[in-house]
Amino acid sequence: MINYVEKPIERSPLRRWFGREFYIAKRFLKWHFSGVKYSKINRETRCPNVWIEHKSTLLRKLKDVDMYLQYNKITNLKLAIAKIDGVVINPGEVFSIWRMVGRPTKRKGYKEGMMIHNGKVATGIGGGLCQLGNLIYWMALHTPLTVKERWRHSFDVFPDVNRTIPFACGATLAYNYIDLQLENRTDITFKLNLWLDDEFLHGTLCGDYQPDSKYEIIESDQRFELQWWGGYTRHNRIEKRITNLQTGDVTTELVAENNAIMMYNPTLKE
């Protein structure tokens, strides 16, 4: 059965600007008046048990993307993780990427990086921070943390090259209303550590208790579909399989069902 997806509508630049600033102001008010307790950095809190560690490649050769944008992305990542590394997510707290990072600006040292606008490669100050959202989201899926807010990528822009995790297991970001937020509804304290080396963005999520379950992310029902308006879409289903390490009991949770508009023809070799 085909999942019908509407062709995206292009908005005028002025409408996009007003819409963006409206939602930024709305989110800013929510941060300060919602009563939510947000996570903070705490270097002294120790969480010695590693629940998951992950890394992602910093420099990727992407079609029609200048490499200087990739190097600028590294600068942007350094600035952003300096605001997040060491954050402790205590029980009852919410972690928000944008509340910790703040607005990326030239004045803060952020550079022009790659962004995606309506499925096309664009540039903007602070571009490339989606890699940070992708890594944190993937790690969170391997813990009992609740994903309170996450926005999926609406477009499949580049063909797969050496893919190591399922398609659409990332989290797109745009200051500040397209955010990644994790809520700790457990009695476990979690700590997020992030760092860069010459090749990779690294991350670990650690807890003050050892994991009592094994978490696996399962992809199924992956397919490409030709839509009525002539474009292709990519579909898949992502589930989390949780195995209790003491009893062996297995539960499965639906994470997401994805339909992304493809910006390349999957029937042709690139």
Residue-by-residue DSSP string for 115-162: EEETTEEEEEETTTTHHHHHHHHHHHTTSS-EEEE----SEE-S--SS
pLDDT digits (tens, 9 = 90+) for 124-141: 999 999 999 999 999 999
End-to-end Cα separation, the chain, in angstroms: 28
Residue for token pair 């893919």: 163
Q: For the chain, how many helices (H) and strands (E)?
A: 4, 14
pLDDT digits (tens, 9 = 90+) for 238-255: 999 999 999 999 999 999
**What's the CA gap between 147 and 90, in Å, rounded?**
15
CA distances from 26 to 14, 100, 102, 129, 183 (A): 18, 17, 15, 22, 20
Q: Residue 121: what pLDDT?
A: 81
**What's the CA gap between 133 and 178, in Å, rounded?**
11
pLDDT digits (tens, 9 = 90+) for 28-41: 999 999 999 999 99
Q: Residue 129: what pLDDT?
A: 96
- Domain layout of the chain by residue ranges: 37-208
Model confidence at 235: pLDDT above 70? yes
The encoded tokens of residue 72 equal 């600028």
pTM equals 0.92
